[in-house]
Chains A and B, each alone.
Chain A
């Protein structure tokens, strides 16, 4: 019997001809990988051919739901999108939220996997009648929001739609996929869907799923809801993540002008504290969320934009741009095109530096020039001018341009760095270096340790390694259950509390210790996927600039030497049970719960 909260199957759709198969998901697999990012990782091991071209027809892309979706537990209406990334060539998962998660799961599937390539622009429909394709040429070229609106009108009531924008259609390596304005942003999953000629996936609920202990779930939901109104979420509720900007500037942690500085003189112009008063027009929530972190600001000309710290960091200080009109316009433009703002901003900041150094011929492109920022975004969207180069992300663009620009390309494993200065947050430096997805603040929240005051954030060492592993493990579970990380501060004993939630939904006798082991399994499984796709230990590293150029922090100088990072990475490997080549031992491999035939074909089993 399938556990509560699950259907025990994934729907695997070949969009080449619209046929679909059901892939059974055993209790062992579900309990071992939970859902979301964890189950998505297992599906990629199972379904992605080794060495598959991310934008080729053989590459699978999975929409993965979770056991908590559909319950009244706050922030649980989320889904993961998982595939091999065209930006990194490695495993990528990105989360989005709201009604698509609920309706997608209630199609009767724990995951919907798409592979193949449709003959022309199409929409994939999935409901109780299974999967089918409909032609969608009229939406090709539109923004995701416009496509969602048009398809919603055409399909009628009950359909929930996740769509790509023009960047996904054009194969921009950091194109997003979004639903109701919320993006599965990182790693270019929009390009993967676009390469299949799929503009959107539409889902309609057809069934129900019951938790094992409905009363316990309701009690837990009420408790969690009350806690979600407290101080631990105040930041998200009151100002949103943009509250970071001025604070990070005050502690020399705001990456500026492509990591040439850690403070931005004009940061106050972009501060949430002021912008919220001057431009705030609304605050929204995802479905089933009681936090309400979305802060909507008015843009010049009467438009509106969702504002997050990462948008503003990447399109503001990272590019040296301080005019809020320009930054909000750039953010809105990224939404229209369907671009990951962090990778877009990071890649453009790299290009600005290249232009100023004379490495690329673009005299119009300079740090601090808002008009140039907008032009660069337009070129990425259209493929004109620098667009084709910049659409590949900073790593590949730097390989093409050369001239030493590889040293200041702001990425790890090809994924552009988020707005956390690694030299002044050295637990985070490790987290960014070793994470399977690349430079990422959502899969490794090690900055929490740096900002806790418990360790010297400028002197990375053993304590920082332990902290980084802890945050990576917690993220693995939150991304698989799925619960929003903005809720993390309300949990005092996370693994025990999460296991209680999971037990009430599934009926499993799961406890905190099991969930802690599950976290390690998921983290390891991600690394193992990368290993088979050509990852090497050299990929667990930071850009040369961060290891050779110090930054000033008050009376001190922040230095992150290659030796210090090497020592932390080595300690991380040891703690994760990996050898120097990043390979796990036999016991850890067996615990991955993959079919023996898969393991043996990849050389992981004798």
Chain B
């Protein structure tokens, strides 16, 4: 089983405002990141926050845990996150909250590389190692605790004592689905300053396919698939001229059924809108 951990406890000093709460196409960055992990892993998703940190709403069934101490960096958050999911998953994808283009295919690619030889799968994408878009065995929790206690707070210290599989751009993009849906590896583009945010926010929402079914498909122009831009389920519904009320549900990629308006969408997703009264 796999888990997702979002480290939200950074100070957002350069941004000047908490990054977790930044607006993202009618949602927030934190909501988007947790939602993307929740739709990708098959185990729990937790958010690690600094002591007393105010967070925007997180997605359904996402747990929030507290860092025991503030200002000790990502290893402290990693320790808290791994401890929270250790009993429920073998491996966790760990990321920061400021990855608006994180794609489920990237998460799956990294998690799939965890094997018996790897304690950590560390992407080296777009020229840099990405410890906050990487996979960690949850059994590492005691080791990370020990490193924090010894004030060895940089991720590099963890990598010195573990088996690390490194994935460069070519290795990542050898996976055809990821190559098709995130060819530039925008998944690891993070946002640190207001200008980064404005640039990222100005990009169009992900291109997704929507289709109405059954009674929702009656009437002119409502049949067949349509390509639209939508970052959330609500936006996709609006693009399909629908409201997500009690009579409508959506199926994401033929799998997850949802009415969650803020369910994040990613490039290449298909959204089927069904009558909630489906059945005989």
Contact = CB atoms under 8 A, between A and B. Distances in A.
Contacts of B277: 232-236, 489
A246 B213 contact: yes
Interface string A235-253: 1111101011011101110
Given A232-B247, A251-B272, A442-B280, A453 B257 contact: yes
Given A241-B280, A555-B108, A235 B255 contact: no
Contacts of B215: 234-235, 237-239, 243
B255 A553 contact: yes
Contact of A451 (B217, B223, B257): B257
A273 B278 contact: no
Contacts, number: 110
Contacts of A308: 280
Contacts of A419: 280
Interface in B205-222: 211, 213-215, 217-218
Interface in B113-144: none
B276 interface: yes
Interface string A178-192: 000000000000000
B211 A244 contact: no
Contact of B249 (A234, A272, A453, A553): A453
Contact of A251 (B218, B245, B255, B280): B255
B275 A235 contact: yes
A550 to B, nearest CB: 14
B38 to A, nearest CB: 11
A418 B276 contact: no
A228 to B, nearest CB: 13
Given A235-B215, A457-B257, A555-B108, A441 B279 contact: yes
A544 interface: no
Instruction: Give the contact-size bracket for chain B.
Output: 20 to 34
Interface string A442-457: 1001011011110011
A494 to B, nearest CB: 14
B251 A239 contact: no
Contact of A309 (B250, B251, B280): B280
A273 B211 contact: no
Contact of B279 (A234, A246, A451, A553): A451
Contact of B247 (A234, A247, A252): A234
B279 A244 contact: yes
Contacts of A450: 257
Given A235-B278, A238-B218, A309-B280, A453 B247 contact: no
Instruction: Give the contact-size bracket for chain A.
Output: 35 or more
A273 B214 contact: yes
Contact of B214 (A244, A252, A445): A244
A263 to B, nearest CB: 8
A554 B256 CA distance: 9
A310 interface: yes
B232 to A, nearest CB: 15
Given A250-B251, A556-B255, A451 B274 contact: yes
Interface in B259-280: 259-260, 272, 274-280
Interface string A400-426: 000000000000000000110000000
Interface centre among B245, B249, B256 (most CB of A within 10 A): B256
A243 B257 contact: no
Interface string B35-46: 000001010000
A231 interface: yes
Interface centre among B215, B257, B277, B279 (most CB of A within 10 A): B279
Contact of B275 (A243, A441, A458, A556): A243
B17 interface: no
Given A273-B223, A309-B280, A247 B214 contact: yes
Nearest to B253: A554
A246 B214 contact: yes
B204 interface: no
Nearest to A424: B255
Nearest to A447: B279
Nearest to A485: B280
Interface centre among B223, B253, B278 (most CB of A within 10 A): B278
A455 to B, nearest CB: 9
Given A241-B280, A246-B214, 9 more contacts: A231-B245, A232-B277, A234-B247, A234-B277, A235-B214, A236-B277, A452-B249, A452-B259, A554-B252
19 contacts: A237-B215, A243-B214, A243-B215, A243-B278, A247-B275, A250-B251, A250-B254, A251-B251, A251-B254, A273-B218, A308-B280, A451-B276, A452-B276, A453-B257, A453-B260, A458-B255, A553-B254, A554-B253, A556-B255
Interface of A: 231-239, 241, 243-244, 246-248, 250-252, 272-273, 308-310, 418-419, 441-442, 445, 447-448, 450-453, 456-458, 489, 553-556
The 6 closest A-B pairs by CB, nearest first: A243-B214, A554-B255, A247-B213, A554-B253, A235-B215, A453-B257
Interface of B: 40, 42, 104, 108, 211, 213-215, 217-218, 223, 245, 247, 249-260, 272, 274-280
